[in-house]
């Protein structure tokens, strides 16, 4: 039976398939420290990048419902795979039934909006999970705003496991970092801007910078998502009024609490308390 959702203001929900969304959350908190946040990581079922449309949609909808039940009126899908495969359907088909006053936003549109002023050659590359690349969400969103930009994509299936297994700094990671960059750039010699279209990839930034040829700009999405959210709340005071402001952040995971705390330390510079939740 559907639960009645509270109309009392609540925190902003930030959802990711695992830890990667913490890179987005930290930029959002830097930009908007006054708000309260609930971070929800579906760590027990990560990765999403290799899963089908149906499953990513089902899991993401469960997470959105959970965050709504926890009092969020605004939820950010801080996961490119979820943004690519579930956001549109949730916005169009589910929100009208769940609560038309609540909002769910993704990370692809805010990332794409900045591209037009960054690329000079009008040739852009996207590095992301297999699911995000296959969805064609980046080329579709880029072409809506900038029809003249030529987009090439390359899936990097080994990058998320490198981060999740604490191998981001290891010399063994070099082979896979270089491999996907070289493959992407060999598709189009004129690429001057590369989007890191996965929330885990900023953790690989030192090595990505090392293997990216000079002169190619790397777009890491956290700051753009944070800036876009600030702008959104400014343009939508009715939604901002439903977001509480005590500067607090709560962390939830579908995995064991201890495991989340241990692994999240690579992403955060603070001691956190974590609550386990069940998504269904």
Q: Rule CB under 6 A: which residues touch ligand DGL?
A: 16-18, 20, 46-49, 79-81, 129, 132, 160, 198-200
Tokens of 114: 């900045």
Minimum distance from residue 45 beta carbon to ligand DGL (Å): 9
Nearer Cβ to ligand DGL (119/129): 129
State the catalytic residue, choosing from 156, 198, 243, 249.
Answer: 198
137 labeled part of a ligand binding site: no
Q: Answer positive or negative: Cα dihedral of 236, 70, 22, 87.
A: negative
Task: Pick between residue 47 and residue 139 the one whose CB is nearest to ligand DGL.
Answer: 47
Q: What share of the chain is helix, strand, coil (3-state, %, to 5)?
A: 45, 15, 35
Q: Which residues contact 204 (CB under 8 A, 6 or more apart)?
A: 159, 162, 163, 168, 173, 177
Q: How far is the CB of 174 from ligand DGL (least distance, A)?
A: 21
State how far the Cα of 35 lies from the Cα of 12, in Å rounded to an integer. 7
- Kindly state the smallest distance separating residue 130's Cβ from ligand DGL, in Å: 8
| DSSP-assigned letters across all residues of 196-245 | E-STTGGGGHHHHHHHSPTT-EEEETHHHHHHHHHHHHHH-HHHHTTB--
Name which of 44 and 95 has its Cβ closer to ligand DGL: 44
Residue closer to ligand DGL (CB basis): 226 or 243: 226
37 is in an annotated binding site: no
CA distance 83 to 60: 9
> Any binding-site annotation on 49?
yes
In 3D space, the residue among 222, 223, 272, 266 whose CA is nearest the CA of residue 251 turns out to be: 272
Q: How far is CA 220 from the centre of its chain?
A: 11
> Any idea how long the chain is?
280
Is 57 labeled as ligand-binding? no
Phi, psi angles (nearest 5°) of residue 205: -55, -45
Tell the smallest beta-carbon distance from residue 160 to ligand DGL (Å): 5
| Shortest spacing between CB 54 and ligand DGL, in angstroms | 16
In the set 72, 79, 243, 252, the catalytic residue is 79
16 labeled part of a ligand binding site: yes
**Shortest Cβ contact with ligand DGL: which residue?**
49
| Cβ distance to ligand DGL smaller for residue 26 or 81 | 81
Instruction: Say whether 114 is catalytic.
Output: no
Answer yes or no: 198 catalytic. yes
The answer to whether 236 is a known ligand-binding residue is: no
Annotated binding-site ranges for substrate: 16-17, 48-49, 80-81, 199-200
Query: Which residues are annotated as catalytic?
Result: 79, 198
Annotated binding-site ranges: 16-17, 48-49, 80-81, 199-200
């Amino acid at each position: 039976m559907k639960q009645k959702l509270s109309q009392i203001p609540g925190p902003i929900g930030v959802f990711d398939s695992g830890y990667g969304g913490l890179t987005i959350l930290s930029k959002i908190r830097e930009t908007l420290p006054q708000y309260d946040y609930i971070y929800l990581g579906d760590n027990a079922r990560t990765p999403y990048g290799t899963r089908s449309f149906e499953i990513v949609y089902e899991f993401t909808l469960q997470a959105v419902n959970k965050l709504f039940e926890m009092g969020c009126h605004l939820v950010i899908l801080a996961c490119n795979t979820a943004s690519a495969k579930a956001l549109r359907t949730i916005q169009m088909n589910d929100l009208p039934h769940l609560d038309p006053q609540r909002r769910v936003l993704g990370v692809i549109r805010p990332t794409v909006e900045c591209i037009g002023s960054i690329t000079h050659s009008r040739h852009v590359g996207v590095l992301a999970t297999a699911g995000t690349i296959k969805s064609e969400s980046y080329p579709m969103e880029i072409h809506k705003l900038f029809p003249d930009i030529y987009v090439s994509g390359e899936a990097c299936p080994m990058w998320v496991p490198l981060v999740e297994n604490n191998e981001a700094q290891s010399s063994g990671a070099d082979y896979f970092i270089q491999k996907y960059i070289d493959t992407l750039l060999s598709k189009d010699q004129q690429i001057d801007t590369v989007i890191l279209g996965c929330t885990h990839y900023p953790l690989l930034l030192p090595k990505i910078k090392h293997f990216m040829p000079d002169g190619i700009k790397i777009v890491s999405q956290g700051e753009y998502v944070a800036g876009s959210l600030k702008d959104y709340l400014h343009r939508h005071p009715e939604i901002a009024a439903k977001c509480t402001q005590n500067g607090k952040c709560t962390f939830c995971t579908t995995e064991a609490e201890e495991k989340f705390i241990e692994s999240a330390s690579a992403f955060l510079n603070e001691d956190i308390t974590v609550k386990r939740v069940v998504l269904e």
